[in-house]
Amino acid sequence: MSRTTTARILAAALSAVLIGAAAGCTAVQSRPTTHPAVSTAGWPTAQVYHTGRTSPTLTVPAGARSLHIDFSCTYGLYSVGPSADMDRREGTCGGAQSFDFDIHSIAAGTRLIVDLVVPDGTRLAATMNFSTAPFAPDRATAKQCATLATVQEAYWNADQGHDHGDVSDAQWTERTAAAKADIERLANAAEKHPASAGLLGTVLPSIAGWLTGAGDHPGGVLHAPLGDFTAAETLAGQICTANGTAMVIHSSYGG
């Protein structure tokens, strides 16, 4: 028998062994990991109707990752938040507000105190319930709120300075120039790319339209008449607050 014939026989035998081994093997399929669904039946909720400040308490159930609060009050300033060391939502009463708070790091069984702060004599209503859904601020909206806060701060301080006689017309224009460019950029981006415009996308054009148009003068923000601009400004503040990224305005003259 030649070497070539022998090699062919050995190759055929080896192939038969491999095929037979493969036929005898059973494929092992991985099973998907399943997590038991969290039942929210029996989870604590609260409905509060009160005059003045109140602090209801809720026990955090196992599996809760966020706390949802629907809130409204009649007049004055409000502050809403669970426990003293968490972010709070603050603003002016008027209309219903919805807030979500991240509580995933709070242990189940914790008695969570929720502060609902309004002036004495102010009526408030609140509905509170836990959720398995996590809460995190919308990133695009957070960036918009931060930029809009600097815009409002620039106009606010320039207007106040002008009212006090510390800022001339020319200085007012100089101090608001960068803010005007920022609000125009935000509004243009929101109109060109609405899908990625964040939650403020619908109100930015109204704010920019006023600041670059009829309101482009000393006192245009501080003494703005009620209308589209003031409504958009109020709505922007509510959106940023609900997103957990409230706008903070530092006034050089107080107020």
| Structure-model confidence comparison of residues 162 and 33, the more confident one | 162
Name the pLDDT band for 214 (thresholds 50, 70, 90).
Answer: very high
pLDDT surpasses 60 at 25:
no
pLDDT surpasses 60 at 216:
yes
DSSP the chain: --HHHHHHHHHHHHHHHHHHHHHH----PPPPP--PPPP-TT--EEEEEEES-B--EEEPPTT--EEEEEEEESSSEEEEEESTTS--EEEE-SS-EEEEEE-TTSPTT-EEEEEEE--TT-EEEEEEEEESS-----HHHHHHHHHHHHHHHHHHHHHHHHHTTSS-HHHHHHHHHHHHHHHHHHHHHHHH-GGGS-TTTTTHHHHHHHHTTTT-STTTTTTPPSSHHHHHHHHHHHHHHHTT-------TT--
pTM, two decimal places: 0.72
pLDDT surpasses 50 at 127:
yes
pLDDT of residue 196: 84
pLDDT of residue 28: 41
pLDDT of residue 199: 86
Q: How much of the chain, in percent, has pLDDT values that exceed 70?
A: 84
pLDDT of residue 10: 34
pLDDT surpasses 50 at 207:
yes
pLDDT in tens, 135-158: 989 998 999 999 999 999 999 999
| Domain residue ranges of the chain, discontinuous segments joined by + | 45-131, 139-242
Name the pLDDT band for 197 (thresholds 50, 70, 90).
Answer: confident
Q: What number is the average pLDDT over the span 7-16?
A: 38
In whole numbers, what is the pLDDT of the chain averaged over residues? 85
pLDDT of residue 67: 95
pLDDT of residue 87: 79
pLDDT of residue 128: 97
The CATH number for 45-131, chosen from 2.60.120.380, 3.10.20.30, 2.170.190.11, 3.30.500.10, is 2.60.120.380
Q: What number is the average pLDDT over the span 230-240?
A: 92
From 27-41, 50-64, 221-235, the region with the lowest mean pLDDT: 27-41
